Amino acid sequence: MRVLIELEALKKSAYDLKYYHKLQGFIYDLFKGTPYKGLHDRDGYKFFCYSNIFPPKDMERGDKRNLLISSPERPLVKLVQKQLRELKDAEKSANIGDMSFKIREIKPLHPKVTRSCTLITGTPIVIRIPRENYERYNIKPEKDYNYLYWRKRYSFEAFIKQLEDNLHKKYRAYHNQKISEVELLFEEFVFKKQVCNHINVKGREIPVIGSIWKFGFNYLTEERQKIIQFGLDAGFGEMNSLGFGFMNVVR
């Protein structure tokens, strides 16, 4: 499930390419004083994701923008809707870094993974390969790093296998149950490009390597459909609560 937030710029501002943590902060502020108030400090997966503010370009006062927030946890999405409606009704602005918006509309959406469908990345997918898998994927790093971000010079096998492992782990953690891993979650995939984004961690700017993809699915079994649907709601890959791995269905 997800919610579409339609925004209107309240002032002229440049589109901030490094606003991930600021947008994350805005979302966590919505959880203050609610049952989700401790989500930021909770260990493990957070089970929500969000899009960029789009279209991604500089704004003049009155320009329209959109934001999507998704989660497999229906009560969380409902809470986001409620908190945003309260801001809208009180005519309070949504401030994200130097960008300031009026909330125009809040709409629930229910995109579905069908037996045959196509998914595209709304934000880059981040995959980190741990040191113990370097040999498995024939990766020879210059230094003995604990992990490496997947890059286009590494094999597609490394990306897909780590992506599947991550999705299985999140699915099991969310449902708090053991499930057998489903092989070949991803049948058809098209690599589009590699990108570098920056996030702020304790005041330090950290580069994050991600990639843009298109995934095709044909005749998904019911079990695979459930797992891919979970990924659509929770995000693909890592750092979903920082907005990475947000996915969209294309019919």
State the average pLDDT for the chain: 94
| Class of 117-250 in CATH | alpha beta
Options 3.90.1300.10, 3.30.70.1890, 3.90.1150.10, 3.40.50.200; CATH for 2-109 is 3.30.70.1890
Give tens-digit pLDDT for 89-121: 999 999 998 899 999 999 999 999 999 999 999
Question: Is 211:150 a contact under the CB 8 Å cutoff?
Answer: yes
Quote the pLDDT of residue 166.
96
Provide the residue ranges of all domains of the chain, joining segments of one domain with +. 2-109, 117-250
**Domains 2-109 and 117-250 fall in the same CATH topology:** yes
Which two structure tokens, joined as six digits, stand for 56? Answer: 């991604």
Quote the pLDDT of residue 165.
94
- Please enumerate in sequence order all residues whose Cβ is within 8 A of that of 180, keeping only pairs 6 or more positions apart, or say none: none
Give tens-digit pLDDT for 2-27: 999 999 999 999 987 777 788 999 99
pTM: predicted TM-score of the whole model, two decimal places: 0.94
